[in-house]
Amino acid sequence: MDHTALSLLELGAVFFGLGVLGRLAGKIGMSPIPLYLLGGLAFGEGGVFPLGDISGFTSLASEIGVVLLLLTLGLEYTADELFTGLRQSWMAGLLDLVLNAAPGVAVALILGWGPLGALALGGVTYISSSGIIAKVLGDLGRLGNRETPVVLSILVFEDLVMAIYLPILTAVLAGVSLIGGLKAVGISLAVVSVVMLVALKYGRYVSAVVDSPDREVFLLKVLGAALLVAGLASAMQVSAAVGAFLLGIAISGSTAENATKLLEPLRDLFAAVFFVVFGLNTDPRSIPPVLLWAVVLAVVTTATKVLTGWWAAGRSGLGRMARARAGAALVSRGEFSIVIAGFAVSAGAVDGELAALAATYVLLMAIFGPIAARVVEPVTNLFLKSPAKSTSTETVKS
């Protein structure tokens, strides 16, 4: 069988398998990310049925997946909302950063992965999954709950931190000199600042440039703009993902809403490929040695996320049940954690076990996070003297 026919068969099997896994995840009410990662582990190096060489397509598709993930995330916010969220949640955001990055940093140093590994693993354990959290809140009917704005404001703060963190991580992993690193960080901050200013003052013009009444033209313009901005950002030592995120922020109003609806199928397709590729590049035989550390990180960072949400909701004057729900909602990790680990491993500057640890950790947290959000109410009720009264007064819709 010739190479083209074999590649088509393998790609067809991958896409069909992703569809089956996504369907299964929907049936059992969980995020498909863990199943995509497991699929990649099963068919990658050291898996039960290694695939042939389709890396040319999958590597590019996974990069597009990251760009689309961050673009659609940016489309969810306006620049005003980001700044408002930052002003309202900066104390909770700082607490979140310290409590949840510290365990990853500590474990990386204990395992001897050095400062680079610590910088990467700290990011993996810090950032919550906006995609999983938004879906869980919607599924549980909690989007209108009083604690939900607190949760979203913390997620906004995390996204802003990522806009600064990812360029720094990229520069450091590239092994640039101190002066070169400072230059790269300076360029990154300047680019982020300029784009945020453009989004605040001239966002309507950006929206007008990409908008079109024709769906085909609209899709081509939005996708083309995202790839152009991502490529330019990467060339300027700014993460391509951050470039796409900032473009999403600059697009606002009905244009952003229409773009989100139009891009969702493409985003889901290429993002699924991204998670599979991460699994394909992770040898499942490297997981057992780091499994215990993944469990330790999962337990510790579950507690620290719950503490973050509890404290932030308490500052807003919410009761114990709402505080517990806010904390449990933040537990899930997912796409951003894998993006960070992927950057670190592909750069070749950190230990390859980091990919295995990150994959195992995300598997645990992407499964346990939605479960924690679902069971937090009955568990909390066990510790409340008057569960009926507390629940009725704390689930008021805003």
Give the domain ranges of the chain: 3-394
Chain segment 147-177, per-residue pLDDT in tens = 888 887 888 788 778 777 877 787 777 766 6
Chain segment 324-346, per-residue pLDDT in tens = 999 999 998 877 788 788 777 77
Q: What pLDDT does residue 89 have?
A: 73
Q: What pLDDT does residue 181 have?
A: 60
More confident call, 49 vs 124: 124
Q: What pLDDT does residue 387 have?
A: 45
Chain segment 291-318, per-residue pLDDT in tens = 999 999 999 999 999 999 999 999 888 8
Q: Which fold has domain 3-394?
A: Na+/H+ antiporter like fold (1.20.1530)
DSSP assignment of 176-220 equals --HHHHHHHHHHHHHHHHHHHHHHHHHHHHHHHHH--SSHHHHHH
Chain segment 345-356, per-residue pLDDT in tens = 776 666 668 888
Residue 277 has pLDDT above 70, yes or no: yes
Residues 243-282 as b/e (b if ≥16 CB within 10 A, e otherwise) read: bbbbbbbbbbeebbebbbebbeebbbbbbbbbbbbbbbbb
Residue 395 has pLDDT above 60, yes or no: no
DSSP assignment of 28-45 equals HTS-SHHHHHHHHHHHST
Q: What pLDDT does residue 50 have?
A: 62
Chain segment 101-150, per-residue pLDDT in tens = 999 999 999 998 888 889 999 999 999 987 678 767 777 778 678 888 88
Dihedral (C-alpha) 67, 70, 75, 78: value to the nearest 10 degrees? Answer: -130
Q: Which among 158, 143, 161 is positioned nearest to 373, based on CA atoms?
A: 143
More confident call, 241 vs 375: 375
